[in-house]
Each structure stands twice: as C-alpha cells, then as structure tokens.
C-alpha cells in the first residue's frame, strides 16, 4: 500500500506507481484534508479519525475483544 499527501496546484496531476502495481487494479481516493471557508481562508479541521486510531487499537486489539466478537 502506498499512501501520500499532495497539494494540488491545478485540477489535474499524475502519479508514478512502482512496477509491481503495473497491470493491477489500483484505487485512488481524493479528499480534501483542509476545508476552505466562504471567505477563502482555510478552516482549522482536526483529523480526529487519524489521531484516535492508535488509541482505539489499544482497546480493540486484545484477547478480551476477540473473545467478545468471536460469535459474529
């Protein structure tokens, strides 16, 4: 898996993939990390979903959690 963050300076851009990805289906997802307000300024938007992933993993990745979900 490759993950990158880019800042687009125009509407189109290209990416160069490693040779191992040639001929395979690749999913590319684009979303704005920064939110632009109506007055043109960038709104301060916390990335809570990324910040909390490691913290939540501590609670989720336990033998007790595995046991609780084994019947689903």
CA dihedral 48, 51, 54, 57 (to 10 degrees): 0
Higher per-residue confidence, 39 vs 70 = 70
Task: Return the DSSP state at 36.
Answer: E
HSE-up (13 A, CA, CB side) for residue 29 = 5
Average pLDDT over residues 42-61: 68
pLDDT band at 22 (very low <50, low <70, confident <90, very high): very high
User: For position 43, what pLDDT does the model report?
Assistant: 59
Q: Is the pTM of this model over 0.75?
A: no
Separation of alpha carbons 65 and 63, rounded Å:
5
Report, as an integer, the average pLDDT of 30-51.
66
- Residue 25 — very low, low, confident or very high, per pLDDT cuts 50/70/90? very high
């Amino acid at each position: 898996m490759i993950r990158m963050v880019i800042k687009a300076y125009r509407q189109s851009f290209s990416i160069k993939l490693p040779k191992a990805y040639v001929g395979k289906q690749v999913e590319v997802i684009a979303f704005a990390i920064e939110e632009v307000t109506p007055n043109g300024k960038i709104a301060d938007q916390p990335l809570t979903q990324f910040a909390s992933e490691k913290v939540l993993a501590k609670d989720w990745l336990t033998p007790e959690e595995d046991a609780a979900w084994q019947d689903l």
